[in-house]
Chains A and B, each alone.
Chain A
Amino acid sequence: MFFSPLISKSDSVSAIMLKVLLALLPGIVLYVWYFGPAILVSITLASLTALGTEALMLKLRDRPIMPFLKDNSALLTAWLLALSIPPLAPWWMVVVGTAFAIAIAKHLYGGLGNNMFNPAMVGYAVLIISFPAQMTHWIAPHGMVISELTFPQQLDFIFHDVLPDSDTLDALTMATPLDTLKTHLHLDQPMRQILDMPIYGRLAGHGSEMVALGFLLGGLYLLASRIISWHIPAAFLGTLFVLAGIFHLADPAHYAGPLFHWFAGASMLGAFFILTDPVSSPTTNKGRLIYAAGAGLLTYLIRVFGGFPDGVAFATLLMNICVPLIVLYTQPKVFGKKGSQP
């Protein structure tokens, strides 16, 4: 027996997720270009862990394994998490973070479609709270520090925590632009002088700003192919822009400008890939605007006044909690009840 409609658009969850993965590629390519191939190691590691955990959880929950493994959603969680943590983080951190994201944040909440929180951001939050030191192993971009690790040396460090004798960790890694800014502002250095440091590049950080540009490019592709709607990126980036603009205009010596906030940290990744996760974001357009504006506000506050290096992850998680309420209060008017009669 079959039921109408008998025809359907040839679209599937797995195709949608695949397109999102593809949209991450420009950013990843630029990442490799500026920071070397270590990120590919964490992406691979996270992917394998995600698929393994997914399969295990499906088995434990007595669900069909293949259709869900093929839906690409676990891979997407893995990639987003890998892109949010330092590429030189030890291998077990990637594994722990990813496994936690998939097993706890996704499957214990009911699996695909039921998770209240963005799994990748839950994984990130667990890692930054549990292992704050390792979460600072950000590689310096090419040409920024005197010594750089070769790929085999990077692997050695990721998997065995071994560095070449001549090197120290401090010489190889660098605080992120957001972090550096915070530290130097604490030392009462003027903003101008800080931003003139070579790591800041043109917008918000040598190398990292290009990666952000790559994510922006992928995000535009997602918009163009109607995988995501404009509401979340626009409201998030808009809020960030306005807030940063106001503070910057009021006190340029202490507050970085809007473009810095757009291209620093995980802004672009968050705007187009993290906040737009359909499962953990609101289903109404008005709700999406509120949700993303809230996330923009929180991101700014955490970055500027909070204790964590970046704010996107916690802003996302905090706004995830509000989603049911936001959706409830932003129900659109149904046909004939809009009062828009001519």
Chain B
Amino acid sequence: MEISGICHDRNNMRPAVPVGNDNMRKLYHFHGGIHPPSNKTQSTRATIARAPLPAKLVIPLHQHAGETAKPVARVGERVLKGQLIGMPDGVVSSAVHASTSGTITAIDMQLIAHPSGLPNLCATLIPDGKEEWAPRKTIDYRDHSPAGLQHLLRMAGVVGLGGAAFPSDLKLSLDKHKITTLVLNGAECEPYITCDDMLMRERAAEIVQGAEMLRFMLDAEEVLIGIEDNKPEAIASMRAAVAAGGHQRMEVIAVPTVYPGGGAKQLIRVLTGIEVAAGVRSTDMGVQCFNVATAYTIHRAFAHGEPLLSRIVTITGNVMHPRNYEVLIGTPIAELVALGVALPDTDSYIMGGPMMGFPLPSVQVPLVKATNCIIASSKKIFPPPPPVMPCIRCTRCADVCPADLQPQDLFWFAQSREFGRAQAFNLFDCIECGACSYVCPSHIPLVQYYRFAKSEIHAREHDKQLADKARVRHDYREQRIEREKQEKADKLAAREKAAQAARLADAQPLTPQQQAEQAELETSRAHIRELAQSAVEHADEGTTK
């Protein structure tokens, strides 16, 4: 089903901000979706403010998807603003920089903002207040090859700022596919979050220039900027920037407000009609998607030589002064909370939105590149869910699932631990948007079950791989023994030896490194399982007590 764009004539002097689609572009529809209360206006009344320099910064070396960056600063070293302190390590990794000038006082394990609640390697930086920059090198991107620019982005620590923090350079490496469309994601569909909205209102020109750079690197033909139609100011400002900059084949398109319309796959679908299946790269289908804040950061990196040192964060919810702040990476969340002034009945803090966010293990954890929003939570804002009831197969969940799944069946399989069937019923197509849980009249924490099932399946696959490896090694050893048996004249002695070797192989099938790997995996798995389990138990409490 298609929905046609609403037409507004640009020359028509409407008093209201023009919302809609000047080109009568055909928009597409995706299945399902929900309309939760947006709660965005609270934090858009004031302009973006710069958060004051904190007394201490804790900069995690793992803020991106992939491998932890290798620390390259020493404890006690004075670093400059923008100086590299974490070197990308491995293909999927990104650089980390000192957010201001000061002294590195520690490089150790600290609690970070991650759903697992596990500590990770961080550099502690005490600012000297001088904000003294490391040398910055501005470039004209048109003078460089896409590969060279990609490297620059990797070294500038640019990652997706929409939430996943995937290294941006990797999304730009294309092998053979022609990119037709670059989609810029300004949809921002999650309730409460307004950082992209405010960025688009205030810094549209730089976003649009960043989009131009992305188009250059991707060699894309057209740029489609999708913004949900509940952000008329942002749409107007972005349109003005596109017009003022004379950008050709770049279009700002108002898309219907529906959660999760800001999911990359959903936005690509709405704007281009293309559905990118799970496990398929969108570039294979000629389209790539970046967040508007990422485009902004790319512009800062090329045109100003600034690595990713700060980002816009919304502080909202149970606070006196909800607002957006530009905050240095590594700032303790507590500093941001203090700016918003949390109300006394605040009982926890959420990173991200109410649909996909997670509670912070502590308000002392540092802000990272993926932090788009902090919501002070209270029983009043987010009341504890009513007791869980059994699934009545009403399929309200299936009606809203943007992936066209049957959440009630997946729930059933996850609950009865039929993980194979869950997988056969496309568990891995679930984007964990939470729309199903939102509408479930039985208040089942459905997404928790899916996360649990996914982690179990991953763990089992990993186990299987390890077992396969061990078996291959064991088989190889057997073959060798067989060969030796032939070669050696003394068959009996050889056989004795072989048996001994085989016994050894049985006893110690894994190398120490693999054992360590597995132990580490076990710990994190146990933790995830505990989390998922406690959700599930929490859910069961309602029905068993």
Residue numbers of A with Cβ under 8 A of B are: 1-9, 11-13, 15-16, 63-64, 67-68, 71, 73, 111-114, 278-279, 281, 283-284, 327, 331-338, 340-342
Contacts and interface: CB of A to CB of B under 8 A. Distances in A.
Interface string B374-396: 00010000101111011111111
Given A8-B437, A336-B276, 8 more contacts: A1-B535, A4-B357, A9-B439, A16-B441, A64-B544, A67-B389, A113-B391, A334-B429
Judged by DSSP, the binding face of B is loop
Nearest to A11: B441
A336 B443 contact: no
B307 interface: no
Interface residues of B, number: 71
B273 A278 contact: no
A342 B359 CA distance: 40
Interface of B: 28, 30-31, 34, 36-37, 191, 265, 269, 272-278, 280, 285, 348, 350, 352, 354-359, 377, 382, 384-387, 389-396, 398, 402-406, 408-409, 425-426, 429, 434, 437-443, 445, 447-448, 531, 534-535, 538, 542-545
Contacts of A67: 387, 389, 542-543
- Complex A-B, nearest 10 residue pairs according to Cβ-Cβ distance, in ascending order: A336-B277, A113-B390, A342-B273, A5-B434, A336-B275, A6-B382, A6-B354, A278-B394, A335-B403, A11-B441
Given A5-B434, A8-B438, A283-B406, A336 B447 contact: no
Contacts of A284: 398, 406
B393 A113 contact: yes
Contacts of A9: 34, 36, 438-439
A242 to B, nearest CB: 27
A5 B437 contact: yes
Contacts of A68: 389
Contacts of A335: 30-31, 265, 269, 275, 277-278, 402-404, 429
Contacts, number: 154
A278 B355 contact: no
A6 B350 contact: yes
A290 to B, nearest CB: 15
Interface centre among A8, A68, A284 (most CB of B within 10 A): A8
Contacts of A332: 404, 406
B445 A3 contact: yes
Contacts of B531: 1
Nearest to A336: B277
B392 A4 contact: no
18 contacts: A1-B538, A2-B385, A5-B355, A5-B447, A6-B355, A7-B191, A8-B443, A13-B389, A63-B543, A112-B392, A113-B390, A283-B398, A334-B429, A335-B265, A336-B265, A341-B274, A341-B285, A342-B274
Contacts of A1: 359, 531, 534-535, 538
Contact of B443 (A6, A12, A111, A114): A12
